[in-house]
Amino acid sequence: QSALTQSPSASGSPGQSVTISCTGTSSDVGGYNFVSWYQQYPGKAPKLIIYEVTKRPSGVPDRFSGSKSDSTASLTVSGLQADDEADYYCASYAGSNKWVFGGGTKLTVL
Amino acid sequence: EVQLVESGGGLAQPGGSLRLSCAASGFTFDKYAMHWVRQRPGEGLEWVSGINSRSDNIAYADSLRGRFTISRDTGKSSLYLQMNSLRPDDAAFYYCVRGDGADWGTSFQYWGQGTLVTVSS
């Protein structure tokens, strides 16, 4: 179980779009459509914002979208807002009832 | 409203033990898989262990090397993590997390606020 690879940081100006990537292998991201994304504010618990690669839980704005190509998943945040500034983590099922997270990306709204 | 409230964190000596608990409410506990996820201060998330709704399917992160044991009590709507042979690198916030299905589901749907484990002599 090796952690999924995320860029440590990303940034964008209000109103712009930013994409955060999450790279794994054929044993995790590439092998299953069980990629999810989590938003975490400092000192708070993570919150699910995308599941099964592209689906949004009720209440999550449609400015958040997910996709996957081969072993790389992506989270796109459109129409950036100040309160989108947070840490974002991807996660994937890795087979044998195990799960793996990415190292996290700190999103800064300029 | 789904609520997950962790307890049992605190200071333990290297080689010592702690038992974390998670009290669940706001949903039918025996219909969902549950997990523990940890986060060392200033670091990323790490899946620790999971247990399905019937307790007949349990999994652990390879890095734990058999030191932790997950369990659940349906009657008490509670999840537990018995942590033995604690090491300094086990120090972290430990989150109780509900899956989105009876078996493993596809995501970590609801999170508790976490309990802090410190390992130091």
> Does A46 sit within 8 Å of B111, measured CB to CB?
yes
What span, in angstroms and rounded, lies between the C-alpha atoms of B39 and B106?
20
User: In the prediction, which pLDDT does A46 show?
Assistant: 98
User: In the prediction, which pLDDT does B105 show?
Assistant: 84
Question: Taking all residues of chain B, what is their mean pLDDT, rounded to a whole number?
Answer: 95
pLDDT, tens digit, 9 for 90 and up, residues A30-56? 999 999 999 999 999 999 999 999 999
> Does A52 sit within 8 Å of B107, measured CB to CB?
yes
Question: Taking all residues of chain A, what is their mean pLDDT, rounded to a whole number?
Answer: 96
Name the residue facing A36 among B50, B58, B108 (closest C-beta): B108
Chain B residue with CA closest to A36: the answer is B107
User: In the prediction, which pLDDT does B102 show?
Assistant: 75
Calculate mean pLDDT across residues A55-80: 97
Calculate mean pLDDT across residues A18-39: 97
User: Is a pLDDT exceeding 80 seen at residue A1?
Assistant: no
Chain B residue with CA closest to A52: the answer is B106
Calculate mean pLDDT across residues A16-20: 98
pLDDT, tens digit, 9 for 90 and up, residues B65-116? 789 999 999 999 999 999 999 999 999 999 999 999 878 789 999 999 999 9
Please say whether the beta carbons of A10 and A20 come within 8 A: yes
User: In the prediction, which pLDDT does A60 show?
Assistant: 97
User: Is a pLDDT exceeding 90 seen at residue A2?
Assistant: no
What span, in angstroms and rounded, lies between the C-alpha atoms of A100 and B43?
15
User: Is a pLDDT exceeding 90 seen at residue A110?
Assistant: yes
User: In the prediction, which pLDDT does B23 show?
Assistant: 98
Alpha-carbon B117 to chain mean position: 12
User: Is a pLDDT exceeding 80 seen at residue A84?
Assistant: yes
User: In the prediction, which pLDDT does A91 show?
Assistant: 98
Query: Which regions of chain B does DSSP assign to beta strands (E)?
Result: 3-7, 10-12, 18-25, 34-39, 45-51, 58-60, 68-73, 78-83, 92-99, 108-111, 115-119
Calculate mean pLDDT across residues B25-54: 96
